[in-house]
Chains A and B, each alone.
Chain A
Amino acid sequence: MPLRTMPWFRLVVGAMLLSSSSAWAEWTVNMTPGVTAISREIYSLHMIIFWICVVIGVVVFGVMFWSVFAHRKSKGAKPAQFHESTTVELIWTTIPFVILIAMAIPATKTLVKIYDSKESVIDVKITASQWKWRYDYLNDGFGYFSNLRTAQDEIYNKAPKGDHYLLEVDEPLVLPVNTKVRFLITASDVIHSWWVPALAVKKDAIPGFVNESWTIIDEPGIYRGQCAELCGKDHGFMPIVVIAKEQAEYDAWVASRKTAAAQENELKGKELSKDELMERGGKTYATFCAACHNLEGTGTPPVFPALKGSAIALGDKNAHINLVLNGKAGTAMAAFGAQLSEVDLAAVITYERNAWGNDTGDVIQPAEIAKLKAAQ
């Protein structure tokens, strides 16, 4: 029985919330049963162990409070003389042991099921990096980054906060329902952890290693989660959104994604105008660079340097490209060469060299990036 449905409980917690203005429905006090068979099993394990603890607590604290009230010196209680009993010690060693075995059996069964990731239909590679997720659909040959969509103004209290404040992304992970999906989870910098409570999937993303997990979602819907392992400055700002769709809708979505990927590929060989590059570069900058270097290019010194008027953005073009492609060892500057497409790299570097008064007039074409990449 969920704790939150008990009237007495709501009354007690409600009384604690004197100053609160939020509606009842907005908060919960318990784990979600979720939308997969595994998440429901975990929920029931959670409730079983919870009630076991409650029962033990009631008995032990019951005896204690009985003594506290009945055996007071002020009520004239005289102390008894007993102080040892091997029989009693054996009894209260054995009973908890038996309870634990009873608890270990269902927990083991669930764990064995969780570890069986065989026979998946769809494989999604999840790559974490500071501070975003990348989803690659291995069977269909496309992939994309997923970033926090909440505006900085909402975070810094300059705009009202939306319903899904901090739990919304630009590109959610889309999955079909009733299909076994395998996740291959890794990271490109520090350790992160991919967690969606409704799926009961939480697995660490570890650089250099690939972890496995899987899910079969029962109901279409939008499920939200967050990075669960401290991964640096914006650990609190890398949410996960999963949209579960019916198979037909999912297939249509995959088809449109494939077409978009093909178009993107074509763009690589093209000569782009400065305006096109600046427009695309601005978007890429906001997604990948602004977290550290700031939307206005002012950075957060001393850790994250400014780009506005910086020696690099105004200096040698190739040195600038090289820094973006390969990062800078010993600093937080990551290597974006493998993370971004040639088009995005060309666009963002063009943007950095021409925005905020950095008027170098330089235009970098995708082909130039491709050539430099090949040379390295």
Chain B
Amino acid sequence: MTAVTRRQLAGLMGGASAAAMLAKGAWAQSPARAKDGGVVIGMSLEPPVLDPNLNAAAAVREVTAMNVYESLTRFNAKGEIVAGLARDWKISEEGLEYVFNLPEGVKYHDSEPCTAEDVKFTLDRLSAADSTAPGKSLYQRIAATEVISPTVVRVKLKSPDSFLLHSLAQGDAGIMGRKSAATNGTKPIGTGPFMFKERKEGDSITLVKNPAHRNAASVKLNTVVFKVVKDPAAQINALLAGDVDTFPGFQAPELVNRVRADGRFAVVIGSTEGETILATNNAKAPMNDLRVRQAIAHAIDREELIAGENGFAIPIGSHFAPHNPAYVDLTKTYPLDIAKAKKLLADAGHPNGFSASLKLPPVGYAQRSGEIIVAQLAKIGIKLSITQLQWPQWLSEVFREKNYDFTIVAHTEANDLDRYARDGYYWGYVSQPFRDTWAAVVKETDAGKRNELLKKAQKIVADDAVNGFLYQLGKVGVWNKNLLGLWENSPSPGIDLAAVSWK
């Protein structure tokens, strides 16, 4: 029976693929909705409440940032900071005061005017003492926000913060109206080029063009549907069936060849801010021994891990994005060397290795790399046992209670090297040299000098082998070949719909 099933199936499969070849055609066809300026964007994770001031989920930003809400500054496709809601700004000599100028006549989707008062309201919402904003620490250096006129607002800092314009460009800092903010979670109202229309929980969110936006003339799309498709297998089905036009973040690198073979889609591998690491509990024995961590670093074969990502990742040797101008290649700090790794482990008093836990969050890359890491460390006698956690379990058990030995996670925030200077962060890493270096980084306003300091900081972290530095996560963007303007890279979670159009 088995053999028959297989043979029959093989026959059917052969026939099916032949039919697919015939149907493929010579050019990429746009779906019918393209005519009316409609697009369906696939998302791997579902956004919870649509208020990025108050919710940390990246998916919330993907829908709302730049589209529904506008922040004072924003990123462009290259990852540079450009003007957002603010027309321009001036920074005082000592870097303690930022004055932002807003354009005249900006209105919210509910026709309320947007003024400097709203900017103050939003920044207070993010930084005030009683704020429940997840990004509060990003804005903790803000001392006060002052309204100078309806279109001019001044932000005063407690100490210089060379990352402020960057922090204000995050989806977190979308400017919200005083009247609508309270209900923005379910009925988001902003000043952006797209307005919220409806939501079907667990399924989709629909946005429509905002005709009153100051740049409305250049916005090509009329209707945008964000459709939640979590599973890799379902994502490919949705693409091939034409239900979804693009997955800006396709979750199944292993299926990319099939998407490419279809012919209708462009597959673009871009960069993300996601440094993927084998996070290590430095506060716990035996990982508190530098030699043990070095041994692990010598045992990690990045090439194999990246093959597991179908090649869509870039090796890293420290906690820093390769596309950043201050990047320095440290991947050779501890090259793959099993013999040396075993010796280091023996020197540390573990000639036969040890057993430890590997707690994985429920994300594709962690699942894929987890099994590979288990096999790699087994070669030097370290026996890891995998536990798959739900995201809340990971947050509470690993991240907050630090009840773990190893985990694999991508740190997707930009400029997140500062985590190594933090007290009580989940790696349990404490290094005075690093903290001193980082304090200098934050104060330094000269770009050239700052980059040198950043390089030094990267090297300290790499030499200390704080974590297993694996790879920079690739952004696998898949879109219909006739769909233009989607970003190749992902400097911050967000999809700039105003730039998207059909050919």
| A and B form one complex | no
- Which A residues lie at the B interface, using CB under 8 A? none
